Amino acid sequence: MCCHKCPVQGHVIVDVHYADLSVLSQTMAQCCKNIKETVQMLASRHKDIHGSVSKVGKAIDRNFDAEISAVVAETVWDTPERQKYLSETIVEHLYRQGMLSVAEDLCQESGVVIDMSMKQPFLELNRILEALRMQDLRPALEWAVTNRQRLLDLNSSLEFKLHRLYFISLLSGGINNQMEALQYARHFQPFASQHQRDIQILMGSLVYLRHGIENSPYRSLLETNQWAEICNIFTRDACALLGLSVESPLSVSFASGCMALPVLMNIKQVIEQRQCSGVWTHKDELPIEIDLGKKCWYHSVFACPILRQQTSESNPPMKLICGHVISRDALNKLTNAGKLKCPYCPMEQNPSHAKQIYF
């Protein structure tokens, strides 16, 4: 603060400029102090996790091998026909995921022509799933009523669960929806014999409607995970009616490859270390069996008990008259002078009487 005498009128004027600078200087000093303390605190916290973070890069380098060409067949996609199959598989996956515009662009760029009859079911499937994610049950209910008989043939409970979820949505509206809920309960009549207990629970919840279902013993009816469950059930049953698997072939192949690739890399490394180059000569077959879990079991597999080899289209399983099953290669090797003696029983028979088994 500075005081001086006005030269015109002789008044004393107080200069506040220096006072403002002093306050500003103190404020800036306090801000700098706070910033320094904050930085020190953050640095101290960072030290606690820095050790773990610094190891991430080394862990990636140790466990991730970018070079996988040693276990990949170079000629797997070398023909236009195989490239077409790959493009069609990717397009189908995009349709399943609802990425219709991306699928159309891929069709145009790859030259793949997808028939509208194949495309239409996926369009309807994604439309209904999108409505379910928005908690709109009407499209799914219309679809379930239209396909009621086919769903019953599959022993599906989809339609009942859709009606159940719609009834629960009415219950969540409180006492104002009581009459509408009672009227909608008539939709449960066709399912009374199979879902009697569930219907009794739904009707019993009406007693607590005035006080709120969330405050009653029936509060579990309002669990939000039911919407995710109904989406999964609809996808499963809709794909079953269309003759499709729940997961796309591309996603299944990708997941299987992710599980099998580390094992194959380890096998290749062991083969190279032990210099056993003749063990794995063909890229279209595996040197050992890789267990992908029951989730990836899609077809029955038969291994010949004589030759201990897995059967194939060129070497199918053959059923003998006595009931025992061996591979065709084993059948030919055991045949002597037009006669065959079963290796598991003393029955002698004509090998031409053996019948091929189809899985």
Q: Which helix (H) or strand (E) holds 177?
A: none
Q: Determine the pLDDT at residue 138.
A: 92
Give 283's pLDDT tier (boundaries 50, 70, 90).
low
Q: Predicted confidence band at 12 (pLDDT cuts at 50, 70, 90)?
A: very low
Question: Does the model's pTM come out above 0.75?
Answer: no
Q: What is the mean pLDDT of residues 70-96?
A: 83
Distance spanning both ends of the chain, measured CA to CA? 100
Question: Residues 141-153, buried b or exposed e (16+ Cβ, 10 A)?
Answer: bebbeebeeebee
d(CA 329, CA 316): 8
Question: Is residue 65 very low, low, confident or very high in pLDDT (cuts 50, 70, 90)?
Answer: low
**Do 322 and 349 contact (CB within 8 A), yes or no?**
yes
Rg (C-alpha) for the chain, rounded Å, is: 36
Higher pLDDT, 297 or 9: 297
∠ at Cα 113 (107, 119), nearest 5°? 85
Q: Which candidate, 71, 27, 50, 5, places its Cα nearest to that of 269?
A: 71
Whether the predicted pLDDT of 241 surpasses 80: yes
pLDDT band at residue 8 using 50, 70 and 90 as cut-offs: very low
pLDDT-derived band at 104 (thresholds 50, 70, 90) equals confident
Position 265 scores a pLDDT of: 80
**Percent of the chain at pLDDT exceeding 70:** 88
On the question of pLDDT at 13 being above 50, the answer is no
Band of residue 162 on the pLDDT scale cut at 50, 70, 90: very high
pLDDT for the residue numbered 280: 63
